[in-house]
Each structure stands twice: as structure tokens, then as C-alpha cells.
């Protein structure tokens, strides 16, 4: 799998300000992206006045969350206790997973870090733009915090981004506690949190057995669907690792397509065929997706809410796997559409699903 350059992600590109070194360098190398990125930057940012969902009181809530996250970025790395605490892999793995759940994580997994987990270069912030990503940590602890179903179902209205930003805070706190704890034991650890990732959490989470990557291109768990936010702590501490899982999401998504059909910007593929190397052609058009975000003023969340796995359906909970079982998938989709299919889309209505 090819590594990704963070400079090419939409979140990084949206930050490049005219006249900055990052702006000049990036668009000298990528002139084809300059026009659309300049257009995006001319729009109100998320939760800002001028966007469709702006509310003077409520929009300040996610703004406060992201401001707080920015203020604690410098705590992601820190001094390591020079005296190591010797412990067995089994004991410390259990302790770390228990600690993550104590501080709010719903799912926790551990995997060996692979080259493809990491970005090639940093790009999110001017101060470290273009730096090569080098991390010698061997293991990653990845955890998921659940987002409230009713809040997410109100997407793309302001309630949705209040919830997503709140869960970015939740994962940041879990990651801070784990990284501080591990460093106190005498081992290096780094908290990878919102706007300060060296790696891609969804790929790490997939390899650690938290879930699979769905048609909406983000991690989908059996328990909560896509209704989670992820955090990662990388470390040189030796830990027991978990294995990837499969509950038949590929087969399910191939038939479902609900996220693609409900995407307001039509940014998700509704194709079913595979492309070269037997890889799925489920992709996202990050430009059209992000333009819609800036227009609405939230991070939308409609692909998350429209996923049957996100809606706590008992018929899904009771099924071990959907692998090679179109009949079973059809029954679940029939139940899902019977419940939500005839209800019209009304912004802010948690029962908008269709």
C-alpha cells in the first residue's frame, strides 16, 4: 500500500494561506489544485458566520472544542522517565486497555505499526510543513470513542459538529492519559490527535481489529458503525497485538450504497466493481465533500448516520458475519428501509434517514 502525503489532504490544503511558504511551495508543485483551493478558502470556515448552519450561541461550542485541542497539541510528546518499569506484555497490555476504557474509550486494539500507516510528509501546519515523517515506534494503541446517535442523526445541522468535536476532545484526553502513563513507565509514547497525526488512524484501527473500511472510506465498527472518533498512541513499549477482523462489511456495502445515495455532494462512489490489484473502487472526492462542509458550516455526518451499522439495529448485533450472504444483507436492508425509507429529509430532524 502506498503512503499518503499529508500535504495533499483537504484539511492541509485548506490551511495554506496566500503568501506563506507552504502556499507558494504547494501550488508551485500542484498548480492544478490552486484554483479550487483558493475558492474553498474564500468561503466561511466550519462554524463561522455566513455558513448555512451558523448560530451565534451554538456554533461557539465546537469552536471552543477545536480551540482547546489546538492549545494542547504541544503535550502530545514529552519527557520519558529514565528508569524503566519492567512488566510482562500480557499485564501491561491489559492495564493499558483497561485505562483507555476507564477514560471513555469504547473499543481498544493494538497492532504493529507498518510503513503504510504513516504519512510521508507533514502538511497541516506551517511550522512543520514538508517535514518527513519519521517515527521509530513499533506498536500502536488505537481506540474509539462513541458519538451519540441522536446528535449524529441531526446532521448536517450544528448538533452533529458539536458531537464530532466533543469526541475529538474525548479521544485526545484518552490519548494524553495513555501517553503520559507510558512515558512515566520509562517508554516513549506519542499521542496522535486531531490536526496532529503522523499516521492515519483508520488504517491502524483496521489492522488492530476495531472494524473495517466501508464505502464511505472511514472505519466502520460492528458495534457503532461509523459513529466513532479514533485516537492513536504510538510507543516503543512491547505489547500484545490484536488481529484484524471481518464481519462481511465489503459484501454489505457492495449491496447497501446508502451512504453514496444520501451524500448531499455525491462525493462517494456507488460502484460495485473492483479496480486493479483486486482493490475496491470506493473512493471519496475530497474536494466536493469539503466544499459542502464549508457551505453547510459543519462536517455534515450524513454518510455516518445513513449507515445501518450506525443505527444500533438488533438484526445487525445478532449476526456474526455478512460474508457471502446476500439474503441476510437484504433482510437487514429491508428492515432498515422500512423504518427510515418513507420519511422525508428535514434538516435537524433525527429521523431524516432514507
Residue 303 · residue 259 · CB < 8 Å: yes
pLDDT per residue over 163-199, tens digit each?
A: 999 999 999 999 999 999 999 999 999 999 999 999 9
Residue 291 · residue 52 · CB < 8 Å: no
How confident is the model over 302-317, as a mean pLDDT?
A: 94
More confident residue, 71 or 347: 71
Task: Kindly report whether the peptide bond that precedes residue 156 is cis, defined as omega within 30 degrees of 0.
Answer: yes
Give the global pTM: 0.94
More confident residue, 332 or 279: 332
The yes-or-no verdict on residue 346 having pLDDT over 50 is: no
Beta bridge partners of 284: 268
The yes-or-no verdict on residue 342 having pLDDT over 50 is: no
The yes-or-no verdict on residue 343 having pLDDT over 50 is: no
Q: Which helix (H) or strand (E) holds 235?
A: strand 228-235
How confident is the model over 315-338, as a mean pLDDT?
A: 92
Question: In 3D, which of 119, 109, 130 has the Cα closest to residue 1?
Answer: 119
- Residues in contact with 292: Cβ distance below 8 Å, sequence separation at least 6, in sequence order: 264, 265, 267, 300
Amino acid at each position: 500500500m502506498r503512503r499518503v502525503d499529508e500535504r495533499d489532504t483537504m484539511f492541509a490544503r485548506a490551511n495554506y494561506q496566500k503568501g506563506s511558504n507552504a502556499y507558494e511551495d504547494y501550488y508551485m508543485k500542484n498548480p492544478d489544485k490552486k484554483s479550487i483551493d483558493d475558492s474553498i478558502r474564500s468561503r466561511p470556515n466550519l462554524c463561522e458566520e455566513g455558513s448555512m448552519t451558523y448560530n451565534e450561541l451554538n456554533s461557539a461550542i465546537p469552536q471552543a472544542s477545536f480551540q482547546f485541542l489546538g492549545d494542547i497539541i504541544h503535550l502530545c510528546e514529552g519527557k520519558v522517565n529514565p528508569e524503566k518499569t519492567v512488566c510482562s506484555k500480557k499485564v501491561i497490555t491489559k492495564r493499558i486497555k483497561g485505562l483507555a476504557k476507564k477514560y471513555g474509550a469504547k473499543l481498544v486494539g493494538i497492532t504493529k505499526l507498518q510503513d503504510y500507516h504513516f504519512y510521508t510528509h507533514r502538511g497541516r501546519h506551517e511550522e512543520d510543513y514538508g517535514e518527513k515523517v519519521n517515527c521509530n515506534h513499533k506498536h500502536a494503541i488505537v481506540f474509539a470513542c462513541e458519538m451519540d446517535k441522536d446528535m449524529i442523526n441531526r446532521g448536517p445541522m450544528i448538533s452533529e459538529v458539536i458531537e464530532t468535536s466533543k469526541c475529538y476532545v474525548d479521544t485526545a484526553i484518552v490519548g494524553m492519559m495513555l501517553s503520559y502513563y507510558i512515558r512515566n513507565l520509562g517508554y516513549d509514547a506519542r499521542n496522535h490527535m486531531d490536526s496532529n497525526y503522523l499516521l492515519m488512524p483508520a488504517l491502524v484501527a483496521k489492522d488492530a481489529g476495531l472494524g473495517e473500511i466501508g464505502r464511505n472510506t472511514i472505519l466502520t465498527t460492528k458495534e457503532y458503525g461509523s459513529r466513532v472518533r479514533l485516537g492513536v498512541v504510538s510507543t516503543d513499549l512491547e505489547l500484545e497485538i490484536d488481529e484484524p477482523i471481518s464481519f462481511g462489511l465489503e459484501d454489505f456495502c457492495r449491496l447497501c450504497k446508502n451512504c453514496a445515495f444520501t451524500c448531499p455532494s455525491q462525493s462517494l462512489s456507488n460502484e460495485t466493481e473492483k479496480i486493479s490489484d483486486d482493490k475496491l473502487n470506493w473512493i471519496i472526492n475530497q474536494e466536493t465533500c469539503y466544499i459542502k462542509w464549508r457551505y453547510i458550516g459543519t462536517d455534515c455526518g450524513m454518510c455516518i448516520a445513513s449507515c445501518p451499522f450506525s443505527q444500533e439495529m438488533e438484526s445487525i448485533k445478532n449476526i456474526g458475519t455478512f460474508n457471502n450472504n446476500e439474503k441476510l444483507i437484504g433482510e437487514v436492508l429491508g428492515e432498515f428501509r422500512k423504518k427510515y425509507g418513507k420519511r422525508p429529509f428535514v434538516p435537524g430532524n433525527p429521523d431524516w434517514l432514507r
